[in-house]
Structure formats: C-alpha cells, structure tokens
Amino acid sequence: MRLDDEEMSDNVEKRTGGGMRNIGIGGGIGGIIIIVLALLFKQDPQQVMQAVQQGQGSGQGQETAEKLTKENASPFEIMSAKVLRSTERVWKQEFQQKNKNYEIPRMVSFQKGTESGCGFAESAMGPFYCPADHRVYLDVSFFDELEQQFGVKGDFAKAYVIAHEVGHHVQNLLGISGRMQAMRSRMSEKEYNKLSVMLELQADFLAGVWANQANKIRPFLDPGDIESGLNAASAVGDDRLQQASTGQVVPDAFTHGTSAQRMFWFKKGFESGDVSQGDTGIGLGSW
C-alpha cells in the first residue's frame, strides 16, 4: 500500500497516559484474545463497555491529549492518519454527488484505555466507532497484537479496519444506525443479532467502496493488498471465531457475519465502488 504522497488528516487526536481498568472476564488471556477479535468491528460498544467495567478497581492515570503530528506519531499512527485523510476525501466526494454534507469524523489514537462518548474504552475492546461523539477509537497496541498473535499482516489489513469503522460513521450520518437502535427494544436478542450482522456487513461493503474510489482518486494499492483485506475480513467471521473459542458454531448468536459473508461484501464494495449496491437487508438510509 503506497501512501507516501498522501497527507495526514488534521482530525486525529493522540492521547497518552490513560489508565487501564481491570477486566473482570473469565477465561484468562485466551478468553480476552477471543473477545478482542469478536469485538474487532463492533459498532455499538456501550453494552460491552458496561460489562468490562465491572472488573476490580481502576488503574486510570492522568491523561493528556494533543493533535497528532509527524513529530509525535508512530509509523502506525502516521499510516492511520493518512488512511483517515483518504476516507475524508472519498466520502466528501460521494456525499457531494448526492447533494449531502459529509461531517468528517475525528479519530483518537490511544493506548491501554481512554474515555469516549460511549464510556471507558479498554484495549481489549479493539477498534470501534462511537456514534455519540462521532469518533473512531484506535488502540495502537491492539494492531501490534493483531499482527503478532493472529497473523493478520499488511498495512492494508489495518486500513480495512479503519475504513470499516468510518463506514459505521457513514451509516450514522445516513440514519441507518439510529433506526436500528430505535428498533432494538422491540426485538428479541436473536432478531436484533440478524440486524447487527446486516449492519456490520454493510460497513464491510463501505470499506470496499472506499478502497475502490480512493484508488481511482490517488492510486495506492499494490498487488496483494486486497487479498490482505479479504484475509482480515475472513479472520473475524463469527463462524471462525465461535469455532475457535467453543468448538461449535451457533448462527443465532452471530453479530457480524460469517467469514464468507464478510469477504463477499467487502469484495462487492471494492469491485462495484457503488454505494447504491450496498443494501445488505437494512436499507441505505437517506442515501
């Protein structure tokens, strides 16, 4: 993935010194690793946050925040800021074509833990989008773990994660996420899980649309990049995660989609580059 000519987004905040609250989840580190992967693309983390915050005590320290710059950023943070800038360009253009205004999201780079509009964010939660404050939260150390422990390699695999979370922001702006939340109280867990899968698959599709359009505006893809993205999508399929953690697959408990579904929708978004083809069953909101 070639991003040398891409500038960094001005909308990235670097937070340091935040503490980490202990996580009261059974299963030891193995259980936490499974939870990390299961939550990798979670759009609505409030309920999970409430669960992980029921651990013992709090190790929060004094947190500081500053604008991310080349001088204070790690190589991964620079790459992430460039990917965010690329999503800003693509979605601004896509919204303008529909006579809509694209509200640029902010991204927060942190380690161990930080406060968000959706509650306290732990490293074990993985990257997420918070609709309450329109921010994407990325724990830098999580991506190191993703590569070292789970074999998900390549910058484009990481870019796919970021683009997926920005996809949730697009859904939020179009009213799709809000409509789903309004329906939540009227549904059983099984019924809502089906909607959640549709939402997540659509975010995968939107990540593919971004890759398509960004590569047209400013070519950056190298051979193997899309395969890297597809491998990342496959790695976090509900069927694969359930099989690895429990030895069995329970479709009614799916919240993100199977590996095959996630790969299919990302690939469809990339090959079509057309948002209008992204109705996974929940509509396209105000698009």
pLDDT tens readout for residues 226-247? 887 777 666 656 555 556 666 7
Residue 36 scores a pLDDT above 50: no
* Pick from 38-52, 100-114, 273-287: least confident: 38-52
CA 201 distance to own-chain centroid: 12
**R_g of the chain, CA atoms, integer Å:** 18
Cβ atoms of 49 and 125 within 8 Å: the answer is yes
Query: Which of 93-102, 149-158, 186-195, 248-257 is least confident?
Result: 248-257
> Is this structure's pTM higher than 0.85?
no
Q: What is the dihedral of CA 121, 199, 193, 231, to 10 degrees?
A: -80
CA-based nearest residue to 255, from 31, 50, 40, 29: 40
- Give the per-residue pLDDT at 228: 77
190 vs 202, more confident:
202
Give residue 226's pLDDT: 85
- The pair of structure tokens assigned to 50 is 């409430």
Block residue for tokens 């947190």: 63
122 vs 128 pLDDT, higher one:
128
**For residue 250, pLDDT beyond 60:** no
Task: Give the distance between the most distant pair of CA atoms in the chain.
Answer: 50
What is the percentage of the chain residues whose pLDDT exceeds 90?
Answer: 49
Note the pLDDT of residue 90.
98
Q: Look at residue 210 in the predicted model and tell me its pLDDT.
A: 97
Q: What pLDDT does 282 receive?
A: 92
More confident site: 47 or 136: 136
Write down the mean pLDDT value for the chain. Answer: 81
- pLDDT grade, residue 44 (50/70/90)? very low
Phi, psi of 109 (to 5 degrees): -100, 125
- For residue 39, what is the DSSP state? T
Pick from 18-27, 145-154, 216-225 the range whose average pLDDT is largest.
Answer: 216-225
Q: What is the mean pLDDT of residues 195-207?
A: 93
pLDDT band per the 50, 70, 90 thresholds, residue 50? very low
Distance CA 81, CA 69 (A): 9
